[in-house]
Every structure is written in structure tokens, then in C-alpha cells.
Homo-oligomer: A and B are copies of this chain.
Amino acid sequence: MPRGSGKVNLIDVARRAGVSLATASRVLNGSTRSVGDELRERVRRAASELDYSPSAPAQAMARGGTDVVGLVVPDIADPYFSTIAASIVRAAEPHGLIINLASTERRHEREAEYVASMRRQQARGIVLVGSRTTDRRQLEELRAEIAAYTATGGRVSAVGQHKLPTDTVVVENRAAARSLAERLLGLGYRHFAVLAGPTDLLTARDRFTGFREGLRAGGVDLASQDVVHGAFTRDGGYAAASELLDRGSGASCVFAVNDVMAVGALSAFRDRGIRLPEELAVAGFDDIASLRDVWPSLTTVRIPLERLGEQALDFLLDEPAQQTRIRRFSGEVVVRASTPGSG
């Protein structure tokens, strides 16, 4: 194995096998065109002897397309997003796709920038996760940015290279939050508080709205002082929970619109000497696997995180589809120790 041989290209392989460039190419990329057994074997051997590795950029040029899929997330360290990312990576592998990862660090206004970067890479498609871009105007800009293709602000958006509309994969947050509210009412709670997350994030809004609807349906109202907004993070949850306490909320059950916040709230409550779950019940949303071991274990809404990524990729790989497609996944309430009931 010739070490330090630098870059070896197809020409080198062809020369060593004593064939033309065309023949070498045909052998190595399993073209439809048949090549004689003799030459085929010679090329194969030459390639392996030279430790030949085709250049992806060159192939991209010649073929007019790459095997790259862009993945843009708000924060890859957040377990919610890393779980989705994992599912996308897993789904991409069998198709031989390469994943280009970018993180906006929750500066959602930079989404367009990263989408543009993926476009430069000639990505076959782009999966936008947890986009905060829900505003019509911003959407238009994003659309302009990625030229003939489109993006939207759903939970997970797939921007295909060949379709104008953007397919989106969403979780039925509102309906699930409603179910959660009903379930908690069923457990006997009557006085609720909500750690509602950021106001401009559709996902957070939907969960909040659904939850309130569920309570209303059960004849329970949510006082505005029992609702506190904040960042969609662990620290955001901690801060919001503290704020709630400072306001002197008398709630017996607190709903955090995602698990990460719920877990931060758990710590805030504990730091204030509140005994959990006896004195205060807590519920979350997402059912993040790596958070299942907190105590008290979180009552939450399980959503099929692994499926979200798969579905987004399926959309990307599917043919054109002139229609904007949308796939909705429903959530399932899971009651655990953090809401012992009869609050």
C-alpha cells in the first residue's frame, strides 16, 4: 500500500490498469454499461492497490448533485434536538447520505444564513429543526434566500432541492397538551401554573394554548399571574419556576411546556425547600429519554422523536411532489411520579 502517495485519482488508476479513463470510471461506479471481465478485474485491482478514493466534490460536479443533506438545529446539545438529529443521522445512513450539521445556537434570526450555507454545499435537501420562523414575512425572506425552494416554520421542515413547497413534520402539540390538561384534572388538580416558554415559538404557544383549552373544557381557568414565559431551556425553566414562587402562586400543579424546563423547575422548587411531588406536582412535555431518571419521574407527553427525523428524510428523498406535504404525529400522555394526584 503506497503510503504518502498523496492524492491518487482516476487517471492514475486507469493508467495503472492500462485502460482509458472512461473504462475505469465505468467499472468503479457500477455503471450500466458492461465492461469486459479482463479489464474490469484489472481496474478493480489497480484501484485497490492504489487505495483509490473518489473525490466527492468532483463527483458532485460531474453528476450535478451531491449526497449531502443539511441539518439545521437550534442547539445540538439540547437532548430534544440531539435525539431528533440522531434519528436523522440514522435514517440517512442506509441511503449513503452525508449530514451537514449546523447549529444556530438559538439565534433563530440566523436560520436563513445557515440555509444559504447548505445551499452553497449543493445540499440535496435541508432539514430545519425547531425553526422559530413562523412569521409570514420571515418565511418569505427565507424562501427568497433559498431561491426556488421553500422553508417553513413547522417543527421539522424539509426543504427539498426539487420541490417548491416545503414539506413539514409536526407534532400535534395542541391536542396533546389538551389531553394532558384533562388527565391532570382527572387526577384531582384544580389550581395550575404554566411555565410557557418563549412567546414567539409556535411549539411553545401551541402547547400552552392546548393546555389552557383543556383546562377550560374542565371548567378551570388559568390566572395570568400563574403563567410565566421564558427561555425554552433548563435555565429558563429554573428561572420561570423561581419567578412563579416569587409571585406567590398557589398552584398545586405546574406544567412546563417541555421536559428540559420541567427538570430545571424541579431543581428550583427543591432549592426552595418544596417537597416533591407531595407539595407540588410537575408535568412536562416531550418525554426525553435521558431525562427519564429524574426524581420524581416526570409526567409528560411522549412524542415520537425518532419518527420525526425519519419522516423528514422520507419527504426529502421522495420525488418532487408539487403539493406541500405535512405529516402530523400525535403525542401520548404518560403519567408518572411527579403528579401523584388528588392535588
Which A residues are within 8 Å of any B CB, using their own CB?
Answer: 1, 3-6, 51, 53-58, 60-61, 66, 71, 75-79, 82-83, 85-86, 89-90, 93, 98-103, 105, 116-117, 119-122, 144, 147-148, 164, 234, 260, 263-264, 266-267, 270, 289-295
For A58, the chain B residues whose CB sits under 8 A away are 57, 61
- The answer to whether residues A99 and B101 also contact, given A76-B86, A79-B82, A264-B293 and a CB cut-off of 8 A, is yes
Contact A3 B85 (CB under 8 A): no
**Distance in angstroms between the alpha carbons of A58 and B293 in the assembled complex:** 49
A293 contacts which of B55, B103, B294 (Cβ < 8 Å)? B294
Min CB distance A119 to B, Å, is 6
Contact A120 B293 (CB under 8 A): no
Contact A51 B105 (CB under 8 A): no
**Copies of this chain per assembly:** 2
**Distance in angstroms between the alpha carbons of A293 and B264 in the assembled complex:** 7
Contact A266 B290 (CB under 8 A): no
**Distance in angstroms between the alpha carbons of A85 and B71 in the assembled complex:** 14
Interface centre among A54, A100, A105, A290 (most CB of B within 10 A): A290
Min CB distance A1 to B, Å, is 6
**Distance in angstroms between the alpha carbons of A264 and B291 in the assembled complex:** 10
Contact B79 A86 (CB under 8 A): no
Min CB distance A122 to B, Å, is 6
- The answer to whether residues A99 and B100 also contact, given A57-B122, A148-B3 and a CB cut-off of 8 A, is yes
Min CB distance A237 to B, Å, is 9
**Distance in angstroms between the alpha carbons of A60 and B61 in the assembled complex:** 10
**Distance in angstroms between the alpha carbons of A260 and B293 in the assembled complex:** 10
For A116, the chain B residues whose CB sits under 8 A away are 53
